[in-house]
Amino acid sequence: MIEKAYGKINLSLDVVSRREDGYHNLKSIMLPINIYDVIDIELADEMQYQCNIDLPYDNSNIIYRCIEAMKKSANSQQNFKIKIEKNIPLQAGLAGGSSDGACAIRIVNKLLGLNYSFDQLVSIGSKIGADIPFCLYSKPAIVEGIGEKITPIDFNQDYPILLIKPAMGINTAESFKLLDIDRCCHPNIDELYKRLKNNQFFADLLGNSLMYSVDKLCPQVNEIIDSVKKCGYDNVLMTGSGSTVFVISTNGDDLKELEQLMRKKYDFVCKTSLLSM
């Protein structure tokens, strides 16, 4: 059974507070984008795993953790043949791993005939990764809590998007570890959504609390943002914990010139769009 595991961008991300359990409460507008990994899982007599990059199948692999969680929930010893085609870069803030895990959860739910509800799948996925509930949903939404609270939003604009990632990635745990809740930015997510609904200028409301940690972890992120703004683009921000920067064109610019310029400087540059479902 084959599924596409779509990436996402955080149009804005507010780390609201730190919880007593060590996790953080978030509020973010998240949008699925048309870049994806391909996940192929079948029933098998023994476990088989293949990936086009060096990604071991063990507890460090989110697909492994998701499949094991699904098997445990169903009290199943079933083995699977797993084939992964990775196109979304690692440590990029694009939810490549979480989307892969969400796909694995959906596929195993079907292969084992579990018929779990969306809420049941979210309950399993949210214990493994904060972005997994959104990736299970994969439609524009305001996401809150530790990722488990999803409020659908009406956002269907077909904006071109350019993704730019430096060679260095950012470890999500390290980014949160360095974060100072009192000193980082806290974007107004509700006001941003109002602007989006009314098709109004929103660049001044873009923000990401985790930008606080960027200078120590990956200074190139700010270099990319500065160079993009010097080229005349305002709708630019780092997604998630990074290190990918996204640029959204709302004025009809197809971003081709900017894409050509960025390709001369950075390892990963990809022109894409919001995902239409």
User: pLDDT tens, 140-185?
Assistant: 999 999 999 999 998 878 899 999 999 999 999 999 999 999 999 9
- Per-residue pLDDT, averaged over 241-255, amounts to 95
Return the residue matching tokens 């990775």. Answer: 86
pLDDT at 151: 96
pLDDT at 157: 83
Q: Is 53's pLDDT higher than 80? A: yes
Based on the residue annotation, tell me whether 8 is a catalytic residue of this protein.
yes
CA dihedral 13, 146, 128, 67 (to 10 degrees): -90
pLDDT at 75: 97
pLDDT at 210: 97
pLDDT at 253: 92
Of 7, 184, 1, 4, the residue nearest 92 (C-alpha): 7
pLDDT at 23: 86
Burial letters 200-213, b for 16+ CB under 10 A, else e: eebeebbbbbbbbb
pLDDT at 22: 83
Calculate what percentage of the chain has a pLDDT beyond 70.
100
Query: What pairs with residue 271 in β-bridges?
Result: 162
Encoded tokens for 36? 């994806």
Annotated active-site residue in 100, 131, 165, 271 = 131
Q: Is 104's pLDDT higher than 70? A: yes
CA dihedral 127, 214, 97, 129 (to 10 degrees): 0
User: What HEC string does the chain produce?
Assistant: CEEEEEEEEEEEEEEEEECCCCCEEEEEEEEEEEEEEEEEEEEECCCEEEECCCCCCCCCCHHHHHHHHHHHHHCCCCEEEEEEECCCCCCCCCCHHHHHHHHHHHHHHHHCCCCCCHHHHHHHHHCCCCCHHHHHHCCCEEEEECCCEEEECCCCCCCEEEEEECCCCCCHHHHHHHCCCCCCCCCCHHHHHHHHHCCCCCHHHCCEHHHHHHHHHCCHHHHHHHHHHHCCCCCEEECCCCCCEEEECCCCCCCHHHHHHHHCCCCEEEEEEECCC
Q: Is 44's pLDDT higher than 90? A: yes
Annotated active-site residue in 8, 27, 165, 271 = 8
CB neighbourhood size of 78 (10 A): 15
Query: Amino acid letter at 227?
Result: S
- Per-residue pLDDT, averaged over 5-34, amounts to 95
pLDDT tier at 276, thresholds 50, 70, 90: confident
d(CA 87, CA 153): 27
Encoded tokens for 2? 């084959």
pLDDT tier at 109, thresholds 50, 70, 90: very high
- Per-residue pLDDT, averaged over 54-58, amounts to 94
pLDDT at 233: 96
Encoded tokens for 263? 């390709």
d(CA 249, CA 258): 11
pLDDT at 277: 58
Evaluate whether 93 touches 244 at the Cβ level (below 8 Å): yes
Q: Is 275's pLDDT higher than 70? A: yes
Based on the residue annotation, tell me whether 131 is a catalytic residue of this protein.
yes
Q: What is the pLDDT of residues 196-206, one digit of tens each?
A: 988 899 999 99
Q: Residue 252, class by beta-carbon neighbours within 10 Å (0-12 exposed, 13-18 middle, 19+ buried)? A: exposed
Encoded tokens for 159? 């904006």
Chain mean pLDDT for the chain = 95
Evaluate whether 252 touches 144 at the Cβ level (below 8 Å): no
